Structure 1
Amino acid sequence: MSADAGTATRTVRRGLTRRRVSAALVGVAVLGLLAGCDLIAPQDTKYIQETATGVNGDIGPIFIGNAVLLTKHSSSLASLVATLVNQGTSSEDVRIVTHAGSETVTVKASESVQVGTPDGETVTFDGLGAQPGSLAPVTFQTSTMTETLEVPVLDGSLPQYQNLVP
């Protein structure tokens, strides 16, 4: 084999090696760019937002859903609107407390109670003093647990609450 043939073979091998390395580097760069899009783009699933107007909470087996206070203005009667769900196996008395007073609602085992709706329980507070648009502390108590929620105070301007304002 002549010296020129050996040089030509090495040159061809170098060319193939360079092409393979270049192709691999281009592939890695493309993968890096595509993966980088996921790192930069915001992920909506990281930020869960409530679709309800009110707030939710738990006190033991009792789930408090979409709790809001409805009032015309700060000096008038306020009505609590919420859903209480008993996920337990025994009946629970839920005491609902604000600085303007307290009321008790009984929720049977594995049942729910609508509060503040025409077919549900009525829970009102006279002299709550909270302006629509503010938050008011409402404490929910069972025999073993207590949870205080900052409940939104609304004036009934939303269509779903217009007929529920006291």
Structure 2
Amino acid sequence: MTRTPQRRSPRGLALALPLVAGAVVLGGCAPVTTNLDYQPSDGFAVDVSEDVHGVNLMVLSHGEGAPGSVHGAFTNDGTTDASVELDAVGASATVEVPAGQTVYLGTEDGETVELDAVSTEPGGLLPVTFSDGSNETEVSIPVLDDTFEEYADDVPAS
């Protein structure tokens, strides 16, 4: 038994053509989401100044009133060294960020930034003021505990 090919109706093609063209046009108008800035993990970002930026910033702590450690990184895209001061309720710290460098916080090869007492429970947001001496920005960063296995070894002892 031989099948003879059926001819497609020009009317069906005429209806399909605008649908395909519309999909192509709308697809071309959609933003390329891979070009958008985002935080690749659980922390938040902050622009301390035009040149100094904090990325993936978070605090690890067992609870309100317990010590905490700051994790993330600061990048200095400028040509002069910068000092970034972190000021939270009841705790402060300073991070030196050389020109053209990135300083990691809380990693094996990075800087250790400890807070004596965190004023927010894990799961909450800790308001922190970031300053480089000329600019000041307040951002609330997340406080996490050892619930997540990847942070368990980095939460300071109570």
TM-score, normalised relative to structure 2: 0.76
Match status 1:163 vs 2:153: yes
Partner of residue 123, structure 1: 113
Q: Tell me by how many angstroms 1:96 deviates.
A: 0.6
The structure whose Rg is larger is 1
Partner of residue 55, structure 1: 44
Query: Structure 2 CA distance, aligned partners of 1:44 and 1:100?
Result: 43
Note the 1:125-144 alignment, pairs <5 A.
125-144=115-134
Query: Structure 2 CA distance, aligned partners of 1:87 and 1:162?
Result: 32
Query: Structure 1 CA distance, aligned partners of 2:146 and 2:21?
Result: 48
Query: Structure 1 CA distance, aligned partners of 2:119 and 2:133?
Result: 28
Identical amino acids, percent of aligned pairs: 30
Partner SS for 1:33: helix
Partner of residue 64, structure 1: 54
Q: Tell me by how many angstroms 1:44 deviates.
A: 8.0
Q: Tell me by how many angstroms 1:45 deviates.
A: 4.0
Partner of residue 84, structure 1: 74
Partner SS for 1:79: strand
1:75 counterpart letter in structure 2:
G
Query: Structure 1 CA distance, aligned partners of 2:151 and 2:31?
Result: 29
Q: 1:33 aligns with which of 2, 19, 22?
A: 19
Partner SS for 1:52: coil
Count residues with an aligned counterpart.
142
Q: 1:146 aligns with which of 136, 141, 155?
A: 136
1:51 counterpart letter in structure 2:
P
Query: Structure 2 CA distance, aligned partners of 1:50 and 1:92?
Result: 23
Which one has the bigger helix percentage? 1
Query: Structure 1 CA distance, aligned partners of 2:92 and 2:119?
Result: 15
Query: Structure 1 CA distance, aligned partners of 2:72 and 2:80?
Result: 21
RMSD: 2.6
Query: Structure 2 CA distance, aligned partners of 1:89 and 1:46?
Result: 31
Query: Structure 1 CA distance, aligned partners of 2:57 and 2:142?
Result: 8
Partner SS for 2:100: coil
Partner SS for 1:127: coil
Partner of residue 64, structure 2: 74
